[in-house]
Structure 1
Amino acid sequence: MCINKAIQFCDFKSFYDKYKPLTPYGYAHKESMPFYKQADDLDAIHQSVDTWINFINEHQNSTLKVVHHLSRIDKLNTLDKKDYDIADLQLIKKFLIHTKAIEQYLPIDIAKSASIAFQTHSLLNILMPDDDKTESFHLSSAFDPQLQKVREQICQADQTINNLRIEAHKQLLDKLGFDFSNRDFILVDKKQLPANGSPLLLAELYDSKLIKLRVAFDKTYMDAQMLKEQLLNEESEIEKRVLKSISEAVRKQAPQLLKDIDTITQLDVHLAMAQLSVQLQLLKPNYRAETIVVDEGIYYPLFERHQQKDLRYTPLRASFGSNAILLSGSNMGGKTVLFKTIAFLQLLTQMGFRVPAQAYATKLFDEIQVLGTTDKAAIEGLSSFGQEIHQLSAGLTKGQSRLLLVDELAKTTNATEAKAILVAVLKFISQQPLITGFFSTHFINIPHLDGVIKYRMRGLDKEAFQRHCHEQTSDINDKIRQINAYMQYELKPDEGVNHSHDALTIANMLGLQAEIIDYANDYLDK
């Protein structure tokens, strides 16, 4: 998939898990992680999600009912078969019961706007001729008059057999004192048997002392049993005929059933998207822009971790008026978080979701590629630099639109050549309208390049830190909290002059020995 590495890079699945379709069909759609590249596809999704957001806000009780019925739907067995068994029909009936119930809870305007119209209600009537509204399915006598008749005859035969059994048991009890009530056989001592046996009993040795006795039913009883067997065989043949008739009705409506499955999938998926949008107050992105603009954009996985640790979170505000963007700044200054925010918002946009931002404007890309992070699919025989250049070359191939996020290009080679490669790649991308590239770097004094915009992270507010923090803490979490509190996670234009020594200040805050900090400062002064 063209987005796998981006998904891993920005921990997208930790947010994606909040999206919860309820049916097996919605879940399968979720697992496929569709990535849309056409604005018209996204327009259709957002139009439907808008409808469901209105439904959630205006019909809360009905929403709960719809959610309940969605949760009761199971996956149907294959419809591509000649004959359906009881299990198949039970699943189909259950599906139809809940789709019909869902439709009944939808106002006409909502159903029309979301294109909800199930085609197979007539099939439900076929599957429940006795108006049995339970989820289970059985071949009711109401399916066929002959089935009803033969089952009545079976009941009569059962009653006759039962009466004959009771009469035989009564005779044995009265004449011989043997009680066969609710038993098929009894065990008695040999001495209890009549000397000449009895025509009412069938006896066989059980062990050295006991005899196993069964009732010797007469011809009337045996004829009744034979009649019942014949009736049961007749019932089985009628049931087969009824199943074939029902199967034929299902086969005729299988295309409509498949359409209804598509409808319930769309309903389930878009309702889940709408619920997530309402829950997190997400807003619709603009995916028809020329360049990327972010207003109060939130990278949700980090935002949640900050909330758990009571850390300040700074949303991203930036307007990138070019397709070639260079970002510089110290470590822990927010460059990687900015990249992850862009990747996160772009994935949400192209998977049809609203976004956690006051505004997000972008264009649609065929691929999102992340370079500079650990790649498990390394090519044997290539160094880290070789791997990186191989990935970069693939990412710069003409013909497809791509969003590239590149962290410190060529960082494993010497600084002079790495800087030259970075400048050359930026110049190349500025001339490729289908590619939008974000690059981070520690290099300073990158020359001006037409079509390339350069930004810096504002970095550490040293004055505020020195004004308020007079004691060092030993706890690493407190150190991170301090850095977070005084780090300005904001962008400013990079004018090419770097007087910041944020890295040394951060190293000092993290506990690097003071002597080393002093040596480093002396070196910089010289």
Structure 2
Amino acid sequence: MKDAWNFAGLDDFWPRYEPLSPWARDERDERKVFTDQAAIEQRYDDLEAAAAFLDRAKADPVALDRVAYHLKRMPRLPLAPKDEYELLELFQIKKFLANYRSLLAALDDEARSRFGLRPAAADLAAELDRGGSDAETFYLADSYSPALKDCRAGLALLDERLSYANEAAAAEIKSLLGINFDGRDFLIVARAALEPEAVHRARCLAEPYDDERLLVRPAPRAELIALSEAREGLLERERYAEAAVIRMLSALAAAAMPELKAAVEAVTRWDLARAGALLAAATGATRPILGAGALELHAGRFIPCQDECAALGLGYTPLDARFEGNAIVLFGSNMGGKTVALKTLLFMQLLAQAGLFVPAARFSTRVYPDIQYIGELSGERLAGLSGFGFEVWRFQEALAKGSGALIAFDEPARTTGSHEAEALLSALVEAYGKGKGDGASRALFATHFRGVARVPGAEYWRMRGLDRIAACQALDADAPLAERLSGINRHMRYELKADAAEGPPESDALAIASMLGLDCAIVERAEFYFKNAAF
């Protein structure tokens, strides 16, 4: 479905869908398109439940801010049992549980019950909370173990004695030699400034640094050596006591893993539903109706195109469509909007099967096991194939996949001559038009070839196209080309209407050519040939 996703411009829209927790963002980034109707309907139900909570809580914006804040603060955490976790992993678990508790407190009973957000790993959380007063800190506190407390008390006493002994040694050296190490391991001193006897009395060692200077350092002192050795022994005991605490906490964490996994799954489900509800509110989206035989869209807005029109100062026309057959042909000239109509339909279908609401007043459809796009930028060409060969390969690939798919063909057979293209397109329309029931594939064909055969089981529609009277009245013949193009765009009617089989409609392309200043004689002859061509 990747080609269909790209064609429908969903990557331009997708950043608006903004879950906040790491697991929900992961799922959002997978761009899942679901094919199980029950699973999709459950997501719709979740989205409605989230929207109901947001509506109930709108009088308390602080609570809504807390929900967002704690979702953002949730870290990734290990979700597999281990004999021993790293200290950082224990901190991540503590931080998750703290934010999880705060999230639950910000939600009401109805939301918590709907999404399975219930208290988790209370014993583990209580133990981890002893290692720091807030969610942003964790350490192995003395309170975890009497042995750890005793080791650290002994280390504090030894550090105090070491500091006193070092200060006494430094004071003695300064009084005898007049030099101050100030915590440094050695000093470079002029030879003339030191008497060897004084160096010995100060219990220092001196060695040549160069011809004029000595490198002087304090000699090892028995009391300092003894204190340092005692300290190393206590450090070893502290490491052992810390390891015992980590093993204790790890055992609690491993035992709590089922609860932690369930909590993460509930958070993910809630976060996705919340983000979907906010997206629906921001885009005026509604719940799709699944299971319908017809494909029906009322006031459907293709948001990427709508945004682009707004940026260019152009009007945007929502799409209305109802298709009951399994082969639908959309006629239209270039610039007439048939490709945008295809994009709009795929945009709605993919959003619906992604478990999201769609920006439309109404969208009814069925769930398709596959959604395909065949047209420009549809994939890499096979080595050695011409453009036409690649198109044929794509047609056969779609047919070989069997029934049940929704397939959008944009300008099919465009790589061959018009007569052959119309013949090939007619046969494709006929093949898909023979499909019966909801299990059949539904194919949408956008084409400017008017000679497509009218076959049973197919529907034929066309874009209304250019409002020529309004465009001519508004057109300034002396305006720059870009201005005239913009004016023409403003008067294109991007609406579908049933296409009658009798005769060709007026040509938008020739009208546009005339408006853009093409020689009148050329346009007149082109209209003559157009009206007398066989359709």
For the criterion TM > 0.5, the same-fold answer is yes
Contact 1:188 1:212 in 2 (8 A): yes
Deviation at 1:235, TM superposition (A): 0.8
- Alignment map for 1:46-195 (pairs within 5 Å): 46-59=44-57, 60-77=61-78, 79=80, 81-130=82-131, 132-195=133-196
Deviation at 1:129, TM superposition (A): 1.9
Q: 1:378 aligns with which of 378, 381, 385?
A: 381
TM-score normalized by the length of structure 1? 0.93
Partners of 1:170 and 1:90 in 2: how far apart?
44
Partners of 1:469 and 1:495 in 2: how far apart?
30
Q: 1:479 aligns with which of 454, 460, 484?
A: 484
The alignment status of 1:221 with 2:227, answered yes or no, reads: no
The alignment status of 1:335 with 2:335, answered yes or no, reads: no
* Secondary structure, counterpart of 2:197 in structure 1: coil
Partners of 2:411 and 2:347 in 1: how far apart?
20
Deviation at 1:381, TM superposition (A): 3.1
The runs of 5 or more residues in structure 2 that have no matched partner are none
The runs of 5 or more residues in structure 1 that have no matched partner are none
Partners of 2:449 and 2:196 in 1: how far apart?
115
Contact 1:445 1:496 in 2 (8 A): no
Q: Deviation string for 1:376-424 (max 9, x for gaps)? A: 4112233323222221222223644111111233233344443333333
Partners of 1:134 and 1:351 in 2: how far apart?
34
Q: Deviation string for 1:27-55 (max 9, x for gaps)? A: 21112111111111112111111122222
Q: 1:421 aligns with which of 419, 424, 431?
A: 424
Q: Deviation string for 1:411-466 (max 9, x for gaps)? A: 33344443333333223222223211111233436554332221121122222333
Contact 1:118 1:263 in 2 (8 A): no
Q: Provide the residue aligned with 1:39 in structure 2.
A: 37
Deviation at 1:345, TM superposition (A): 0.6
Deviation at 1:522, TM superposition (A): 4.2
Deviation at 1:289, TM superposition (A): 1.0
Q: 1:255 aligns with which of 258, 265, 272?
A: 258
Partners of 1:373 and 1:174 in 2: how far apart?
89
* Secondary structure, counterpart of 2:400 in structure 1: coil
Q: Provide the residue aligned with 1:325 in structure 2.
A: 328
Partners of 1:156 and 1:299 in 2: how far apart?
72
Contact 1:5 1:369 in 2 (8 A): yes
The alignment status of 1:460 with 2:466, answered yes or no, reads: yes
The alignment status of 1:449 with 2:455, answered yes or no, reads: yes
Q: 1:180 to 1:460 in 2, by over 3 A?
A: closer
Contact 1:21 1:27 in 2 (8 A): yes
Contact 1:317 1:490 in 2 (8 A): yes
Q: Provide the residue aligned with 2:203 in structure 1.
A: 201
Contact 1:6 1:369 in 2 (8 A): yes
Q: 1:298 aligns with which of 298, 301, 304?
A: 301
* Secondary structure, counterpart of 1:17 in structure 2: helix
Q: 1:235 to 1:374 in 2, by over 3 A?
A: closer
* Secondary structure, counterpart of 1:5 in structure 2: helix
Q: Deviation string for 1:470-492 (max 9, x for gaps)? A: 5253232x233222222221111
* Secondary structure, counterpart of 1:214 in structure 2: strand
Of residues 464-473 and 68-77 in structure 1, the stretch that sits farther from structure 2 once superposed is: 464-473
Of residues 363-372 and 192-201 in structure 1, the stretch that sits farther from structure 2 once superposed is: 192-201
Count of residues in correspondence between the two structures? 523
Partners of 2:403 and 2:123 in 1: how far apart?
48
Q: 1:144 to 1:414 in 2, by over 3 A?
A: same
* Secondary structure, counterpart of 1:406 in structure 2: strand
Deviation at 1:209, TM superposition (A): 2.4
Q: Provide the residue aligned with 1:412 in structure 2.
A: 415
Q: 2:494 aligns with which of 473, 484, 489?
A: 489
* Secondary structure, counterpart of 2:76 in structure 1: coil
Partners of 2:278 and 2:70 in 1: how far apart?
16
Q: Provide the residue aligned with 1:499 in structure 2.
A: 505
What percent of counterpart residues are identical? 28
* Secondary structure, counterpart of 2:118 in structure 1: coil
Contact 1:141 1:147 in 2 (8 A): yes
Partners of 1:467 and 1:190 in 2: how far apart?
103
Q: Deviation string for 1:108-128 (max 9, x for gaps)? A: 111112222252233222222
